[in-house]
Structure 1
Amino acid sequence: MSTGYSSTIDTYATLAATKAEALRRSPGGFFAGAILAGTYIGIAMILALSTGSGLEPGVRPLVMGATFGLGLILTVFAGAELFTGYVMYLGFGLAKRTVSVADALKLILVVWIGNLVGGIILSVIFAAGGGGAIYANADTMFHAYVQHKVEASTVALLARAILCNWLVCLAIWTAARMTGDAAKCIAMAWILLAFVAAGFEHSVANMTALTLGLLVPHSSIDIFGMIRNLAIVSLGNIIGGLVFVVGGYLAAAKTDAVLAAK
């Protein structure tokens, strides 16, 4: 495991430049990767909701958190383009000037839209199949779950979203500093358990959850509630990743030069 911070920062800054080049060379292929990430996080959301739907409220958050890590593991190891992770990549890329502001804005927008398309596609297919345990227990759990997301105040959603992507980016950052695929999987799953169990807001997971909320019989939310949630939560996810992970480790990396000089 690396003890310094600069090498990890440089790795992600270089990755940002690589992603910008990939978008320029193959926009269709890049967009397909973004769609895949939306489906992978959506699969994890469906798994978490399915396993938690019939449980008592006291244990439900822990079980949902313990299963949600599948989404990030699939994204990292199978390969896909995830909005919340891109906040960190592009933040380091902008700080190290490996990408321009225009490139960063284009990347983050394309990835966000691709993730949304993936979440919607997955949700439509899952709903067409009957909605499984999620829809079967909608009156006792799912309706309340999605209503809570659309009815929460702006400040609450923003705060939960900031905390969420602090942890998601930290999971990706931590895995990059570890050796061994098993260790990486355990670290990512454990860190993501914290944000799900604590009730934080992940914009890409919400793309699937709220689309399912629109498609469920006798839906209790509307499209405007979904748009509001995604707008606020996406902004909060950006703030959380940029301030607490990118900003935090750029500041911490200043110690690398001090130690190297000794």
Structure 2
Amino acid sequence: MTYVSPPDFVQKMIDAGHSKVLMSTRDTIIRAYMAGAILALAAAFAVTVTVQTGNALVGALLFPVGFVLLYLMGFDLLTGVFTLVPLALLDRRPGVTVRSMLRNWGLVFLGNLGGAVTVALMMSVIMTYAFQTPPTDVGARLGEIGHARTLGYAEYGAAGMLTLFLRGVLCNWMVSTGVVAAMMSTSTSGKIMAMWLPIIVFFYMGFEHSVVNMFLFPAGLMMGGGFSLGDYLVWNEIPTVVGNLVGGLLFVGLVLYATHARTGRSRRAVELERLEAARRAGDDQVVPAQAGALAR
């Protein structure tokens, strides 16, 4: 069987978080850079498919190809380390501290940003013939996305900010579920299938992914989107990063850790202990019948 039980894959999650914290700066940056670049290419692919077919569902169905590839090659996304690394800290693994966790997050953020912006520049050159012509339909769509998902939120003030934050939460709930789902199988095909499903949900629903946005918005700016760098940072990237952290850690990492790595005592075990204490106290008439029922 290729299925890995929850207690076992949660231990894999903790081990993965531990190894990422202890990784060298060089390797952390390289793996994060490549993850950002591959995810950016997948986003460009999905937007192209959506524009050309007029069907957003087709783009969403195909987008997970990038996530699958980067995971199988052992590259790291910010959304993933938000979920995995804190578990190693909670488990008190040697060498894992708050400082080392923040270091890992910072390096992965920079690496993802570098990879995504590199692809944004390449795609912008391709879609404008090195900025000599107006952008293609896909390039124009990237500019529209940037405008709608910055100034579109700003138009509603605090309500827009809350909406943006919650879209970030829901995004990494799904994306980190994909990361964890890959650990549920020991076969490549099982990993791919398990990863694919939650990633479709996040992309089609329009949730906010901090690394995908590192491509979408710089590309939109390069191709004449009607928003500024400040709009992007304040009305998208920063709240999205916070939302991704909360979603991945709270709804995936901590939940699985609490119930599978630090499993609560069953009611049967508690009751058996109570009956044993009663037996020792001399309540011999009640205990045997109750203990026998519990044992069954």
TM-score when scaled to structure 1? Answer: 0.89
Aligned twin of 1:245: 252
CA distance in 1, matches of 2:179, 2:225: 35
How is 1:149-168 mapped onto 2 (pairs within 5 angstroms)?
149-151=149-151, 152=153, 153-168=160-175
CA distance in 2, matches of 1:140, 1:223: 17
Q: Which amino acid aligns with 2:33?
A: I
* 1:52 equivalent among 35, 50, 53: 50
Aligned twin of 1:36: 34
* 1:86 equivalent among 75, 81, 86: 81
Aligned twin of 2:286: none
Asked whether the 8 Å contact 2:4–2:184 carries over to 1, the reply is yes
Verify: 1:69 aligned to 2:64, yes or no: yes
CA distance in 2, matches of 1:256, 1:72: 34
Segments of structure 2 that go 5 or more residues without pairing to the other structure are 154-159, 270-294
Aligned twin of 2:125: 128
Distance 1:29 1:255, change over 3 A: closer
Verify: 1:119 aligned to 2:125, yes or no: no
Q: Using the TM superposition, give the Cα deviation of residue 207 of structure 1 relative to its aligned residue in structure 2, in angstroms.
A: 0.3
Distance 1:38 1:139, change over 3 A: closer
Q: Which whole-Å deviations, capped at 9, do the CAs of 1:108-149 have from their partners, x for residues lacking one?
A: 0110111001111111112112269x9411587333322121
Distance 1:137 1:89, change over 3 A: same
Q: Which amino acid aligns with 1:116?
A: L
Task: Name the SS of the counterpart of 1:129 in structure 2.
Answer: helix
Task: Name the SS of the counterpart of 1:97 in structure 2.
Answer: coil
Q: Which amino acid aligns with 1:54?
A: Q
Asked whether the 8 Å contact 2:4–2:183 carries over to 1, the reply is no
How is 1:194-213 mapped onto 2 (pairs within 5 angstroms)?
194-213=201-220
Q: Using the TM superposition, give the Cα deviation of residue 196 of structure 1 relative to its aligned residue in structure 2, in angstroms.
A: 0.6
Asked whether the 8 Å contact 1:53–1:142 carries over to 2, the reply is no
Distance 1:219 1:144, change over 3 A: closer
Asked whether the 8 Å contact 1:37–1:82 carries over to 2, the reply is yes
TM-score when scaled to structure 2? Answer: 0.79
Identity of counterpart residues, as a percentage? 23
Task: Say what the alpha-carbon RMSD is for the aligned residues.
Answer: 2.3
Asked whether the 8 Å contact 1:6–1:256 carries over to 2, the reply is no
Q: Which whole-Å deviations, capped at 9, do the CAs of 1:210-245 have from their partners, x for residues lacking one?
A: 0110111x3312111221211010100000011100
Task: Name the SS of the counterpart of 1:65 in structure 2.
Answer: helix
Asked whether the 8 Å contact 1:9–1:92 carries over to 2, the reply is no
Aligned twin of 1:6: 7
Q: Using the TM superposition, give the Cα deviation of residue 250 of structure 1 relative to its aligned residue in structure 2, in angstroms.
A: 2.2
CA distance in 2, matches of 1:47, 1:131: 17
Using CA pairs below 8 Å that are at least 6 residues apart, which structure has the higher relative contact order? 1
Q: Which amino acid aligns with 2:19?
A: T
Q: Which amino acid aligns with 1:194?
A: V
Segments of structure 1 that go 5 or more residues without pairing to the other structure are none
Verify: 1:231 aligned to 2:238, yes or no: yes
How is 1:20-35 mapped onto 2 (pairs within 5 angstroms)?
20-23=21-24, 27-35=25-33
CA distance in 2, matches of 1:206, 1:118: 12
CA distance in 2, matches of 1:139, 1:15: 37
